[in-house]
Amino acid sequence: MQGIKAQAEIGECLAIVSKIKEGDFNSWFEGWRNMAQKIESITNDCHRKNHKVSAREAFNYSITEFKQY
Ordered DSSP codes for 2-67? TT--SS--HHHHHHHHHHPPTT-HHHHHHHHHHHHHHHHHHHHHHHHTT-HHHHHHHHHHHHHHHH
Q: What is the pLDDT of residues 13-68, one digit of tens each?
A: 899 899 999 999 999 889 888 888 888 899 999 999 999 999 888 888 877 777 76
The CA distance from 10 to 29, in Å, is 18
pLDDT for residue 61: 81
Domain membership flag for residue 62:
yes
Domain membership flag for residue 5:
no
The CA distance from 42 to 52, in Å, is 12
Domain membership flag for residue 13:
no
Domain membership flag for residue 16:
no
Domain membership flag for residue 64:
yes
Range of the domain at 33: 24-68
Say which residue, 5 or 62, is predicted with more confidence: 62
The count of domains in the chain is 1
Domain membership flag for residue 14:
no
Residue 50 near residue 27 (C-beta atoms within 8 A):
no
Domain membership flag for residue 43:
yes
Q: With bands split at pLDDT 50, 70 and 90, how would you rate the model's confidence at 5?
A: low
